[in-house]
Amino acid sequence: MLAGDFNVVPTDFDIYNPKSWRKDALLQPESREAYQRLLAQGWVDALRALHPDEAIFTFWDYFRNHWMRNAGLRIDHLLLNARVAPRLTAANVDCWVRGEPHASDHAPVWVELAEGSASRPKKRMVPKRRKPARK
């Protein structure tokens, strides 16, 4: 899983008003293209996989009452690799946390995965350590 604040808004659907942010790095073509290159490698955007048509935000700026107006952006992402993505059962944002006193401008993003193990590599990547011989 790749997880974190990527500082990129993947599409205009992922922001309350793209016009007011057009010159910001979060919406630049280079940033968006880099994000799309990750998806093209086979990474699955967990939130979009389960909520393709829902306006979901993970960040609300402290200025101009963005939180109160739900004027948010989706810049925190959880990307799943091809082995883990089939185990995805739930994904969402705990928006309520953003409304708490002294909260971060980001809300927690989470996923739930079905139990089971992803397939393991067939070969060990690191040689097994040997115990020193006793004298």
**Dihedral angle computed from the Cα positions of residues 72, 78, 82 and 87, in that order, rounded to the nearest 10 degrees:** -100
| 106 domain residue, yes or no | yes
Report the DSSP pairing between strands 76-80 and 44-45: antiparallel
- Residue 116 pLDDT grade (very low, low, confident, very high; cuts 50, 70, 90): confident
Q: What is the pLDDT of residue 118?
A: 55
Give per-residue pLDDT as tens, 14-28: 999 999 899 999 999
Distance CA 73, CA 67 (A): 11
What total of structural domains would you count in the chain?
Answer: 1
119 domain-assigned: no
Q: Whole domain around residue 98: which residue ranges?
A: 2-113
Whether 125 is in a domain gets the answer: no
CB 75 within 8 A of CB 28: no
Residue 105 near residue 59, CB atoms below 8 Å? yes
Residue 58 three-state SS: coil
130, part of any domain: no
SS3 of residue 78 by DSSP = strand
Domain presence at residue 36: yes
Q: How would you classify residue 119: left for phi > 0, otherwise alpha for psi between -120 and 50, otherwise beta? A: beta
Distance of alpha carbon 46 from alpha carbon 39, whole angstroms: 11
CATH number (domain holding residue 85): 3.60.10.10
**What is residue 130's predicted lDDT score, i.e. its pLDDT?**
41
> Is residue 135 assigned to a domain?
no
Does the structure show a pLDDT above 70 at 49? yes
For 119-133, write each residue's pLDDT tens digit. Answer: 444 433 333 444 444
